[in-house]
Amino acid sequence: MDRRRTIKRRKRKINLNAFRILLIAILALVLFFVIKIYQFNNLDSKVETFNVDFTKETNNIGVLNNKYYKIDNGVFSANTENGEQFKINVLDINKVIYDKYIYLVENSGRIRLLNRNDGKELKKVKLDKSIESIEKNGDNLIVYHPDKVSVLSDKLEKVNEVSDLRNPIKYDFTDTKEAILEMDLSDGVVSSIFTVKNNDNTQFSISSSNEVFLFTKIIDDNTIMVSNSYIYLINGNSVVKKILLKDISAIDFNYEQLAVVDDKQLIIFDKNLEEIDKKTIGVDADKLSIRKNSIVAIGNEKLFVYENGNVIDADIGGVVNWFENDQVFYTIFLDKIVKVNAY
């Protein structure tokens, strides 16, 4: 009897140990995938300053995960402080988009999807039209052609397409709505055209040869449109609010706030165009970026950071460009790339 009990206890102990080993293995596997997902979604960089040797021809500079990327003399490369990590020959580049993946966008309509760590080409597509411009919008790519807009997923799968357009310059969409800015160049007259569609039916439309339409975004039931003269808030088929602009130089929006630099003033609105704050910065802005808790503006070789109702500024003489994503903002010089601590 005692022997049987001993054997049973040993079996229970073996089963318990096996269960513990299996549980540890499962937890380790889950932790591995959690780390991998975090690393894939993390676009931050801890490097405060990269020392570089750029020329005026160096272009399409970006920063991801402690690497900086650039194009020089037809070669796209990734670099760290320890040297070059990989390089790829490129041709006819329209733009490079740096995100969870890297997108090499060619004027001809070809887009190459790269692994950002090793430069391995994961996919490529050839669109049937040349590319005028391209932008990242959430998880999608908005591609502007001479007469249409293509929407691609982050893995270059076709999501949507809008045809028969006249030089589209801005596009936004939800499941049921679309907002489209076009520029009609026919008959020697430049006209801006703005259209909002709901379930493929035109809900609102306006055109002007006096205003230049610059920006649009759909927010809940409303649509914001910014021209060189006004900010419009549109609901249904009506303009419900209209704000006069004097001399707009920069715009940014993050679904909760709209910021503009107008007449050398930084003006911040909520998504219903109620003014939150206004600060004089004294320069036109070349770049405006709403961060999580601050707003960055660059103009006339000066950097401005708005935070908690205050603006601090710094001289950035010699700045040639900048780079931003959702997690970092860098200023770019010919000899260095410097992180802006604005969050």
* Domain extent listing, the chain: 52-165, 169-245, 250-343
- pTM confidence score: 0.87
**CATH class of the domain whose range is 52-165:** mainly beta
CA–CA separation, 163 and 301 (whole Å): 41
pLDDT at 6: 59
pLDDT at 19: 65
CA dist., res. 340 & res. 343, Å (int): 9
| Residue tagged 């690497």 (tokens) | 67
Q: Fold identical between 169-245 and 250-343?
A: yes
Partners of 266 in the beta sheet?
261, 279
pLDDT, averaged across the chain? 91
CATH architecture of 250-343: Beta Barrel (2.40)
Q: What is the pLDDT of residue 326?
A: 87
Contact 181, 190 (CB under 8 A): no
Q: Give the list of residues 6+ apart from residue 5 with CB closer than 8 angstroms, or none.
A: none
CATH no. for 169-245: 2.40.10
Q: How many other CB atoms are there within 10 angstroms of residue 15's CB atom? A: 10
Residues 47-73 pLDDT 10s: 899 999 999 999 999 999 899 999 999
Low-confidence ranges of the chain (pLDDT < 70): 1-16, 18-19, 22-23, 25, 27-44
How far apart are the C-alpha atoms of 220 and 210, rounded to whole Å?
29
Distances (CA, A) of 303 to 2, 60, 246: 82, 21, 22
**pLDDT number for residue 38:** 45
